[in-house]
Homo-oligomer: A and B are copies of this chain.
Amino acid sequence: MSDHEQPPLPPTSRLSGDALPPVEQHAQQYETVRNAHETELIEDYVELIGDLLRHRGEARAADIASRMAVSQATVSKMIRRLNELGLVTSRPYRSLFLTEEGHKMAETSRARHDIVLHFLRALGVRDTTARIDAEGMEHHVSDETLAIMQRFTEKHQS
């Protein structure tokens, strides 16, 4: 369907029963996933804080806790981490705010999230399902794939 630059597909378009990828490539796949996992949660928190600020004007720990379905203690601990990472500023009993860097991360995450979500809907996935899938998928979609998803969505939007 896509007449975007067709990548030069390797000679072997492998089917399921095919050879394993070479060790280094295989290893790199798993490494990429592990690295994604490290930043995933951080990004989720930052993205949510950004969303809360945008829509509610403030981001309180209690809201984060209920939206993430996690205890307040967990959120509190996480906020300390985000603070150490220079992503948020927080004064006790006050709303959180994002630093410059945190804001950038939130924007990037939200953009990525939206692209995936809209793509899934354009594909024909039901809204509720699309939201759940997007939440999980967003951290594992490369920029290359993201670009393709975006073009696809634009094209298939009536």
A50–B145 Cα distance when bound, in Å, is: 28
Instruction: For the complex formed, measure the closest distance between the CB of A8 and the CB atoms of chain B, giving whole angstroms.
Output: 8
Query: What is the size, in residues, of chain A's interface with B at 8 Å between Cβ atoms?
Result: 74
Chain B's closest residue to A36 (CB) is: B136
Q: Is A121 an interface residue (CB 8 A)?
A: yes
CB-based nearest B residue for A65: B1
Known: A9-B121, A37-B37, A110-B16. A145 touches B133 (CB 8 A): yes
**Interface hits, A1-18 → B, CB 8 Å:** 1-10, 12-13, 15-17
A117-144 contact mask (Cβ, 8 Å, vs B): 1 or 0:
0001111111111111101110111101
Which residues of B lie under 8 Å from residue A33 when comparing CB positions?
Answer: 44, 132, 135-136
What B residues does A140 contact at CB under 8 A? 133, 135-137, 140
Q: Can you spell out 20 A-B residue pairs with CB atoms less than 8 angstroms apart?
A: A1-B62, A1-B123, A6-B124, A9-B126, A10-B127, A13-B127, A20-B51, A20-B67, A27-B67, A27-B68, A29-B135, A30-B68, A30-B69, A30-B70, A32-B135, A33-B132, A33-B135, A37-B37, A123-B152, A125-B148
